Chains A and B, each alone.
Chain A
């Protein structure tokens, strides 16, 4: 399936620049706190769980399962499926599902990350594994 949709380029900022730099290398990064051990997404410098500033970047597997989704049928740019993926590493991330038959998505389905180009850094999406 050809995905001709034009996606906006991330603005980026000092706190998240490393995520987008890694995305350019095809790597999907999460943050992990070395104080409490919890991983989180989207990345913050201060752990949202224990407030430690000892958070580090970690390359995620890019694999997960669909927590939920909704197929948006009324859109000027055509139907799209928004949802959340629960990563193998734990955190759930908001995304769109791409390169697949959107009518066949299922909660619990295994998916993997795929990057789509923008005019800046590429954006992470998910597709059936």
Chain B
């Protein structure tokens, strides 16, 4: 049993807003749902599967009601919550449901307002009494990974900075990007230290916004007007300190989700023409490139240096919308926009200055939670038909 080729992404929509003081979170969900439904060229009454995560106000049943989905038809829901990679996991789960005949047109939404609204608190786990007082935040949890990676492999701040430099080269062409200025390695190193060894420019932006997808059967996708993009491999995994045994913060759960996805797709990292890699921080990208097999563990620094991630310049064009480091990071969750830019690349709809030529195979990969504490990862491999 495989999901290879069983589901297509027929609709995508990224909200153009980065600052939405005049909108509600539910409204943003509705706006991105409408956008993806219109992009696919279907009716909202055709949707028979709905997927959302912790950013959806009240969860699946209030959202299904608020969005006015057709409850006579809706027969599959999934509110798997794995932080920023939830939507990559949803994509795989939607494909599984479609392959099993449990739904035929799935809607996945993400939206929220970390800049202008209140973010729901993270639910406490069994570890709360033993960890919450120590103030783990995204910055310092990823800082701890970077610190150890530098210690074990000699990775440098200059190498990490190249990731931001590449993102900024792409963001200059995205009219919606929050940070459009091209930056240099020196700019990154001279930006204030936030949580050692991560500088301000090693960190992604905070933005309001959202995005949505329509995932459907091959037959329905072929009846619609958009270029065909199919899911050919998917993986998901989780990692944590596991009782403190053999702690190693230099790799992520991507080391398991990646090979699962590549094996299902029947391809290798060398075949990938474009990579959407979650960039909550520069170190997130570096570790994930290693974990996914684009280079050996410990050689990520060398791999990302000297513009190797810049479209048209380097070997692996990444995050051609400017990513979380420069464009947006809706609800502090980067998984959705990673899928959307990968689909744009496969459709040939990326900005001409960053469009990868003959882009037929792309990867969208993300993590959720805190890389330095406990987290999930998910990998999707997409092919242009």
Contact partners of B37 in chain A: CB under 8 A:
none
Contact A40/B244 with A7-B133, A68-B249, A73-B196 known, Cβ cut-off 8 Å = yes
Say yes or no: B148 contacts A92, CB within 8 Å: no
Pick from A8, A40, A90, A91: contact of B133, CB under 8 Å: A8
Pick from B132, B137, B242, B247: contact of A84, CB under 8 Å: B247
Pick from B136, B148, B243, B244: contact of A68, CB under 8 Å: B148
Contact partners of B143 in chain A: CB under 8 A:
70-72
Q: Does B70 contact A (CB under 8 A)?
A: no
* A62, chain B: closest CB distance, angstroms: 15
* B374, chain A: closest CB distance, angstroms: 10
Contact partners of A7 in chain B: CB under 8 A:
133
The count of residues in chain A whose C-beta lies closer than 8 Å to any C-beta of chain B is: 40
Interface string of A1-26 (1 = CB under 8 A from B): 00000011011110010001000000
Contact partners of B196 in chain A: CB under 8 A:
69-71, 73
* A114, chain B: closest CB distance, angstroms: 14
* A100, chain B: closest CB distance, angstroms: 15
* A54, chain B: closest CB distance, angstroms: 15
Contact partners of B127 in chain A: CB under 8 A:
42
Q: Does A41 contact B (CB under 8 A)?
A: yes
Q: Give bound CA distance, A16 to B247, whole Å.
A: 22
A84 nearest CB neighbor, chain B only: B247
A116 nearest CB neighbor, chain B only: B133
B194 nearest CB neighbor, chain A only: A74
Say yes or no: B195 contacts A42, CB within 8 Å: no
Query: What band does the interface of chain B fall in when counting residues whose beta carbon is under 8 Å from A?
Result: 35 or more
Pick from A69, A82, A93, A118: contact of B244, CB under 8 Å: A93
Interface string of A70-86 (1 = CB under 8 A from B): 11111100001011101
Q: Give bound CA distance, A18 to B193, whole Å.
A: 40
Say yes or no: A41 contacts B244, CB within 8 Å: yes
Say yes or no: B244 contacts A92, CB within 8 Å: yes
B241 nearest CB neighbor, chain A only: A92
Q: Does B75 contact A (CB under 8 A)?
A: no
Say yes or no: A82 contacts B136, CB within 8 Å: yes
Say yes or no: B128 contacts A74, CB within 8 Å: no
Say yes or no: A12 contacts B244, CB within 8 Å: no
Q: Does B131 contact A (CB under 8 A)?
A: yes
Say yes or no: B130 contacts A82, CB within 8 Å: no
Q: Does A110 contact B (CB under 8 A)?
A: no
Pick from B144, B192, B247: contact of A70, CB under 8 Å: B144
Q: Give bound CA distance, A77 to B146, whole Å.
A: 24
* B20, chain A: closest CB distance, angstroms: 25
Say yes or no: A92 contacts B140, CB within 8 Å: no
Say yes or no: B147 contacts A73, CB within 8 Å: no
Pick from B131, B146, B247: contact of A92, CB under 8 Å: B247
Q: Give bound CA distance, A49 to B128, whole Å.
A: 21
Q: Does A123 contact B (CB under 8 A)?
A: yes
Q: Does A57 contact B (CB under 8 A)?
A: no
Say yes or no: B140 contacts A72, CB within 8 Å: yes
Query: Beyond the given A16-B130, A69-B196, A94-B136, could you list 16 further A-B residue pairs with CB under 8 A, ordered by the A residue number?
Result: A41-B244, A68-B372, A70-B144, A72-B195, A73-B192, A73-B194, A82-B136, A83-B144, A84-B144, A86-B244, A86-B247, A87-B244, A90-B244, A93-B130, A94-B241, A107-B148
Mind listing 23 A-B residue pairs with CB under 8 Å?
Answer: A8-B133, A16-B129, A20-B129, A38-B243, A41-B244, A42-B126, A42-B130, A44-B126, A44-B243, A48-B243, A49-B243, A67-B148, A68-B145, A68-B148, A70-B143, A70-B198, A72-B137, A74-B192, A74-B194, A74-B195, A91-B244, A93-B244, A96-B133
Going nearest first, the 6 A-B pairs with the smallest beta carbon separation are A91-B244, A70-B143, A40-B243, A42-B130, A92-B247, A68-B148
Which A residues fall within an 8 A CB radius of B?
7-8, 10-13, 16, 20, 38, 40-42, 44, 48-49, 67-75, 80, 82-84, 86-87, 90-96, 107, 118, 123
Which B residues fall within an 8 A CB radius of A?
126-137, 139-141, 143-148, 151, 192-198, 241-245, 247, 249, 372-373
